[in-house]
Structure 1
């Protein structure tokens, strides 16, 4: 049995993905088979070669360049912004995995800004039952009241059930059976909701009631509130807490320990040193931009919550 693990990437994110892949391979069991599939829309041959170097016995690395036409209907839509940054198409790749890879009944998806500290087989072996996905609470926004308001009053979702889409176990067969991709495209084309985290919001909405909550150690995130978890299985440098931008980021030591085992270590150190105080100020301002969007979306008559109330059914 092969354990499929998916990443999505843009070319400039290769150094961070190398850290994640290197850490994943380091903890992979020699008794299991793994296939890492990297989804992209243009990855340079040099960067493909750098990532392919982590392939070893029992760990296969594949690259899949995605067809522009598949995504034509989700480009240039109102509200397609990713956590206060401009819309990037790659955030939606994960939603298409069940349809693009019908050979897999189950798969793991991981964001590239991660470090893996345990055998990813432990995540893959999660018993799914009738659930469509398994994921962790989004701890990066759990203590930020305006974003809790967004989840509760703009999306109409219980904040305690709202999950992060950066680490997923996907019940691919069930998602195909439920027509997950068709529902996503229908929602996107019909309503074009203004959204703070488009991929994550659609996933939470469509899978509502069929999401299994994972041990939070599978998606440990830096924030300004919780103490560090003991022995996290996977670190996810979500939102703006990037150790290559800020010193003393929570869980940052895990990143730099893993980075030392890649050829990008010195470049990453230089990137941190070159990131100016002004750069950091602008990066932190993005969180405020997210918060500022909440008021606008809250009073939008076409937000998720209002539309669900109007049509009296779950979307």
Structure 2
């Protein structure tokens, strides 16, 4: 019989859970089988801990050998990967497997938060000739592969169970490629630590395993429904195979959503497997006996503490990326599952709509329209933020959609709070009505030039005309900022129809010059004076902050780690330059939080928190860094070099320095072609003074006039306050 070599990488706090995994493996060994557990650690596991580990597995002394290996981080992976979301050194130790076991033909790497339900010999002896790794597709594989710009259809595996074929590894090249990866731009989009690295380095050389060899539980309270939400949409697993894996698991991986030693049994058979194996270790009575019997006390966690793991970090980032239609009568699930449902329905809607042509004018010539929206009807009424829109429809009425029954009373849906946590139920209701009853949906969002003030500006003394949205962009598939799905705008950019002739190019160039000269932006209340701190000759780089959790960030392939990477890149790529961090207008106007709020203004870092027109800043900076902010597009119009870390609508077309890529975006556009698509192709504009639909040129002239009127209003109001 064979001898298996299995690698774990726990820290000291994780040793008890590692022992449970080891016990589950040993109990299923067949007669004559032996296993060596190679436990890689960072020096925190002492002799006393090693003796305790072996003593607590006394029932299996004849079946295993434990070898503890202190990893010398001689490639400095941990420090060099510090920009990644998982910074615990233990998260990178499996990268040393090729160095540490040169004489072995194969090793099996396992996370410590799993248990075996059968002998692992079949897995260990699997034919992997010609492959470096064998693994199970990650539960969020589709989103993960897209984030890393892997080719469509590329297998992205979960790192919790990996069979290594040591004979297929060129160690010298492995180190060179790994170093290049850590030092290159892709580090800015890797949020799954070494799992991302291995998938990038060995894509095309990784064998797909039966998913029963790594059943990844994503929820402690509703494992079945959560797994079914993911299958077939954010991974390629058919629902039938998913159900089989949950019913007959070979290895259960408690990936995220609550570990058994924290949440207890929960009455689920998949969690009871863990406690059955825990009872075979000496750790059980000390740590988990009471937990199994009583469950965790409310608001508490049982010792030993659970450290943050790559899976737990990744779950927070990808929970909003999963997509699959739930069963007909799903059990109640959290916001992540609601997001999954939204994404699945939106994907089905997008797939259908993309195959159809879209005539914007036909939308507004339909008979009496019953509009459904998650916004209050007052937003569409007289003096409301979206008042101009209703004039486009014939005899419209507006129903606020909060549930499925509300959606049945509408024909056309206009979502307002796009992908917002506060309106998930409403969006699900609208999308389900579109999916099942063939109703229509339009994403009508504020355009790149929108209004004078934010519509939610709290000052009650300011007339509604200055808060009203007057410029819109319309999409029948998904909002243009959504990089998860191909919007109508993206489809247009990818088509030959987006090419402009000489007259069209000249026309767009004139409009660009007018916008830049008159400093027209999304909100046009900002003063024009140059901030005093910018009036120096020192080289400057502009880094643009955004409102925390904005939908364009979540749907643009970014998160808080992206902002951290962007700031670091601005510093590294511009040595000696002043880093000017500009906050978003919503932060000052509405009191929203932002990603760089914690940064102190010191050294070369300057912060601009006061309202200032972007076009006032551009002449004083050499380069602009953005995540998904539209300020990056405005900087392009002003002729600046723009580096983009997310996937906004204007990125990926050859005009920006992109730190992510979207394989769907295949054409190279001119600035005028980009401008035409964003402002004119699906733009909708209203005269600020008559509220009638108008041309783009009339709109621009009206906005300049309206801004001048607003400045006069503010001046008179301030004077009246002074002399009141």
TM range, normalised to the smaller chain?
0.7 to 0.9
Gaps of 5+ in 1: 143-147, 310-315
Q: Do the aligned partners of residues 305 and 15 (structure 1) sit closer, same or farther apart at CA in structure 2, a change above 3 Å counting?
A: farther
Contact 1:95 1:181 in 2 (8 A): no
Deviations 1:150-173 (A, max 9, x none): 431443354662110110100112
Q: Where does structure 1 differ by over 6 angstroms across 4 or more consecutive aligned residues?
A: 283-286
TM-score, length basis structure 1: 0.82
Choose 211-220 or 49-58, whichever is displaced more.
49-58
Specify the structure having the higher radius of gyration (Cα).
Answer: 2
2:283 corresponds to: 264
CA distance in 1, matches of 2:247, 2:62: 31
- Structure 2 stretches lacking a partner, 5+ long: 219-225, 229-242, 302-307, 321-548, 563-644, 648-657, 667-724
Asked whether 1:252 is paired with 2:244, we answer no
Give the secondary-structure state (helix, strand or coil) at the position aligned to 1:63: strand
1:303 matched residue in structure 2: 660
8 Å Cα contact 1:36-1:59 kept in structure 2? yes
Paired position in structure 1 for 2:136: 136
CA 1:212 to 1:31, structure 2 compared with 1: closer, same or farther past 3 Å? same
Task: State the distance in 2 between where 1:206 and 1:127 align.
Answer: 21
2:188 to 185, 190, 193: 193
SS at match of 1:48: helix
Change (3 A) 1:271 1:11: farther
Conserved in 2, the CA contact under 8 Å of 1:78 and 1:193?
no
Whole-Å Cα distance in 1 between the matches of residues 114 and 297 of structure 2? Answer: 20
Structure 1's 178 and 122: CA in aligned 2 closer, same or farther, altered over 3 A? farther
Q: 1:1-315 to 2 correspondence within 5 Å?
A: 2-41=3-42, 42-53=44-55, 54=57, 56-68=61-73, 70-75=74-79, 77-82=81-86, 87-139=87-139, 141=140, 148-158=142-152, 161-176=155-170, 179-191=173-185, 192-223=187-218, 224-226=226-228, 227=243, 229-247=246-264, 248=266, 251-266=270-285, 267-269=287-289, 273-274=295-296, 276-277=298-299, 287-290=315-318, 291=320, 294-296=557-559, 299=646, 301-303=658-660
SS at match of 1:109: strand
Looking at structure 1, the residues matched to 181 and 107 of structure 2 have their Cα atoms a distance apart, in angstroms, of: 24
Deviations along 1:128-179, one digit per CA (max 9) or x if unpaired, are: 110110000113x36xxxxx43431443354662110110100112123673
Matched residues in 1 for 2:172 and 2:133: separation? 12
Q: Distance in 1 between matches of 2:183 and 2:315?
A: 28
CA-CA distance at 1:276 after TM superposition: 4.1
Cα deviation for residue 56 of structure 1 reads 2.5
Scaled by the length of structure 2, the TM-score of the pair is: 0.38
CA contact (8 A) 1:156 1:305 kept: no
Q: C-alpha offsets along residues 232-281 of structure 1, whole Å, 9 cap, x if unaligned? A: 111111123311222426710110111111122231355675564487xx
The number of aligned residues is: 294
Partner of 1:312: none
Supply the RMSD in Å over aligned alpha carbons.
3.0
Cα distance change, pair 40–238 in 1 and its aligned pair in 2 (3 A): same
Between the aligned partners of 1:304 and 1:245, the Cα distance in structure 2 is 39
Q: Distance in 1 between matches of 2:36 and 2:24?
A: 15
Deviations, residues 194-251 of structure 1 (Å, cap 9, x unaligned): 3220111111111111111111111012131334623311111112331122242671
| 8 A Cα contact 2:8 2:112, kept in partner | yes
